C-alpha cells in the first residue's frame, strides 16, 4: 500500500489546485515539515496488537460515525450570533462553511453517488446503511469480527469530539481553517496506518477492507481530495501577518487527533461486550 499522498504526487493530480498566492506553498510546506518532524510515526502504526485492536476499532468507529454530524453542526453558534447581532455573514465564514459542508456531504456518500450516477441518483442518499462512509466501516468490521460492532463513545473520544466541535465552530476563522486542515491531514495518515496495522495484526487481505481502500487506496483515493480542498482554504483565510498564529493553531489541532489515537492504543479489551 503506497502512500496516497506520494501516489497522487507521482501522478501530478492535485485536482483542486489553482495558481497559488505567494506564501501558500511555503505555509503548506511548513505544515508538512511539522508533521514529518513531530508525528512521522503514527500511534496506529505500532500501537495495535491483538489485545487492543477490537477496542481501537470500536472507538474509531465512533469518530467516523460522529464526524459528519460534528462538522455539519459546527456553525450553529456562528449563524445564531449573526442573527442576534443583526449583522452579515463574512466571506471567510462562507468559505470555511462551504468546505465543511462538502466534507459532510462526501462522508455521507452523496458526492460519490452524484459523481458516478448523476443527479438522478439523489434519492439513493436515503439508503444510509449502504452509502454512509461509516456504514462501509461497519461492514468491514463485521467482516473482521464476524458480528455487528457497536461504536464506543468512551471518555477520550467524547472529549476529542467536543473539542473538535468547538474548534470547527470557532469565531476565529484562523482556528476554524487550521482545525479543518489538521483534521484532514491527520485523517490521511491515520487511516493508512490503521489499514496497515489491521491487515498485519489480523492477517487480513488489505483490499478486502473497502472503507480504507476508498479513502487512501487505489488510483483515486478520496481522502486526497479532502486534504487538498482544506489546504486551499489557506489561500483565502490566512494573511501573511497571521502565518505564525495559523501554524500554532494547526499544531494544536493535529496534536488533538494524535493524542486521541494514543489514548485509544492504551486501552485493552479481549472480547466485544
Tens of pLDDT, residues 159-217: 999 999 999 999 999 999 999 999 999 998 999 999 999 999 999 998 888 888 887 76
Q: Which three cell numbers stand for residue 80?
A: 445564531
Contact 240, 247 (CB under 8 A): no
- In three-state secondary structure terms, 148 is coil
Which of 65, 66, 70, 63 lies closest to 157, judged by CA? 63
d(CA 269, CA 271): 6
Q: Provide the pLDDT confidence category of residue 26 given band limits of 50, 70 and 90.
A: confident
Residue 2 has pLDDT above 50, yes or no: no
Q: Of 156, 180, 271, which is closest to residue 233 (Cα–Cα)?
A: 180
Average pLDDT over residues 257-272: 78
Nearest Cα residue to 163 out of 66, 41, 39:
66
* pLDDT classification of 11: cutoffs 50, 70, 90: very low
String of DSSP letters for 162-177: HHHHHHHT-S-HHHHH
Which residues neighbour 261 within 8 Å (Cβ) at sequence distance 6 or greater?
Answer: 42, 43, 44, 47, 190
Whole-number pLDDT of residue 248: 96
Give the chain's count of helices (H) and strands (E): 14, 0
Domain ranges of the chain: 21-266
Residues 54-105 have pLDDT tens digits of 999 999 999 999 999 999 999 999 999 999 999 999 999 999 999 999 999 9
Digit-coded pLDDT (tens) for 126-169: 999 999 999 999 999 999 999 999 999 999 999 999 999 999 99
CATH assignment of 21-266, given 3.40.1410.10, 3.10.20.590, 1.10.10.10, 1.20.910.10?
1.20.910.10
Contacts (Cβ under 8 Å, ≥6 apart) of 64: 133, 134, 137, 211
Determine the Cα–Cα distance for residues 158 and 30; give it in Å rounded to an integer.
30
DSSP one-letter string for 43-84: HHHHS--TTTHHHHHHHHHHHHHHHHHHHHHTTHHHHHHHHH
Are 101 and 69 spatial neighbours (Cβ–Cβ below 8 Å)?
no
Amino acid at each position: 500500500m503506497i502512500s496516497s499522498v506520494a501516489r497522487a504526487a507521482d501522478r501530478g493530480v492535485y485536482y483542486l489546485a489553482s495558481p497559488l498566492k505567494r506564501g501558500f506553498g511555503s505555509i503548506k510546506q511548513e505544515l508538512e515539515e511539522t508533521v514529518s518532524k513531530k508525528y512521522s510515526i503514527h500511534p496506529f502504526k505500532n500501537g495495535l496488537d491483538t489485545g487492543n485492536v477490537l477496542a481501537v476499532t470500536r472507538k474509531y468507529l465512533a469518530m467516523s460515525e460522529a464526524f459528519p454530524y460534528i462538522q455539519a453542526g459546527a456553525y450553529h453558534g456562528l449563524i445564531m450570533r449573526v442573527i442576534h447581532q443583526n449583522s452579515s455573514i463574512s466571506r471567510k465564514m462562507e468559505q470555511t462553511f462551504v468546505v465543511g459542508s462538502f466534507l459532510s456531504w462526501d462522508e455521507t456518500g452523496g458526492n460519490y453517488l452524484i459523481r458516478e450516477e448523476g443527479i438522478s441518483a439523489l434519492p439513493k442518499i436515503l439508503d444510509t446503511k449502504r452509502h454512509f462512509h461509516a456504514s462501509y466501516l461497519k461492514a468491514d468490521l463485521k467482516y473482521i469480527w464476524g458480528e455487528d460492532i457497536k461504536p464506543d463513545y468512551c471518555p477520550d473520544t467524547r472529549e476529542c469530539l467536543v473539542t473538535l466541535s468547538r474548534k470547527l465552530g470557532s469565531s476565529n476563522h484562523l482556528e476554524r481553517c487550521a482545525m479543518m486542515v489538521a483534521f484532514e491531514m491527520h485523517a490521511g495518515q491515520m487511516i493508512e496506518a490503521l489499514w496497515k496495522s489491521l491487515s498485519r495484526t489480523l492477517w487480513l487481505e488489505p483490499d478486502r477492507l473497502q472503507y480504507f481502500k476508498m479513502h487512501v487506496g487505489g488510483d483515486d483515493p478520496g481522502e486526497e481530495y479532502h486534504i487538498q480542498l482544506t489546504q486551499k482554504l489557506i489561500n483565502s483565510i490566512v494573511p501573511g501577518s497571521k502565518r505564525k498564529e495559523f501554524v500554532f493553531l494547526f499544531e494544536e489541532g493535529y496534536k488533538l487527533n494524535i493524542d486521541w489515537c494514543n489514548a485509544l492504543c492504551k486501552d485493552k479489551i479481549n472480547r466485544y461486550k
